Amino acid sequence: MKKSIILCGAVLLMAASCTTITKTSTTANVPQSLLSATVADLSVANERVTTRLEPSKAIQRGGMANIKRAAEAQALEEYARKTGKTADLLLEPEYVIEQRRNFIGTKVKSITVSGRPASYTGFHSLNDSVWCNRIFRSGYKDNVKHGNSGILKGLFGK
């Protein structure tokens, strides 16, 4: 009798401790436009740098964007080696991509990139008098849709 009571108590205790709690949460999509009044000055080299890269399998696994970044990095390293100056980015990059087609897909045989090396010389904020100027800000358009929201959304027009 005592064994069956203890056994039943143990089974009930184990069954009660195995409950699953599921919690979900959602976030509201709040459209915001990010506007920064910080600008950077660039020092751009006059000459273009050109380099050719035959990407390895590891580089190719990252896709075409990874291959392009690797070619740009090699071009910037080559520029630093030739001139002794470092560059942060490659402006106006032009890519010539040689691909080989096989029965599975395409494989990049080589990529040649050409562009102007540039480096950041300083970051500064815009003067408030410039930023508040309507002519300066006329080209800025934010993506936030104003109005037409709430319970009656979409019932009237557009």
- pLDDT tens track for 118-153: 999 888 776 655 556 666 666 555 555 555 555 555
The reply to whether 51 falls in a domain is yes
pLDDT at 140: 56
Count the neighbouring beta carbons within 10 Å of the beta carbon of residue 72: 21
45 versus 32: which is more confidently predicted? Answer: 45
The reply to whether 19 falls in a domain is no
The reply to whether 147 falls in a domain is no
151 backbone dihedrals φ, ψ, rounded to 5°: -65, -35
CA–CA dist 156, 148 (Å, integer): 8
DSSP 32: -
pLDDT at 158: 47
- pTM value? 0.57
The reply to whether 142 falls in a domain is no
Confidence tier at 41 by pLDDT (50, 70, 90): confident
Task: State the CATH number of the domain containing residue 73.
Answer: 3.30.110
82-102 average pLDDT score: 91
The reply to whether 104 falls in a domain is yes
35 versus 99: which is more confidently predicted? Answer: 99
Confidence tier at 48 by pLDDT (50, 70, 90): very high
The reply to whether 93 falls in a domain is yes
The reply to whether 84 falls in a domain is yes
Please give the full DSSP string across 89-102, using - where no structure is assigned: EEEEEEEEEEEEE-
- Tokens representing residue 128 in the block: 């408030």
Total domains in the fold of the chain: 1
Confidence tier at 117 by pLDDT (50, 70, 90): very high
- At residue 84, does pLDDT exceed 80? yes
Phi-psi region of 119 (alpha: psi -120 to 50; beta: other; left: phi over 0): beta
pLDDT tens digit sequence for 14-40:
776 655 566 666 666 666 655 666 778
Encode 37-67: b = buried (16+ Cβ within 10 Å), e = exposed: eeeeeeeebeebbebebebeeebeeeeeeeb
92-100 average pLDDT score: 91
The reply to whether 146 falls in a domain is no
Domain assignment of residue 51, given as a range? 41-122
Count the neighbouring beta carbons within 10 Å of the beta carbon of residue 105: 7
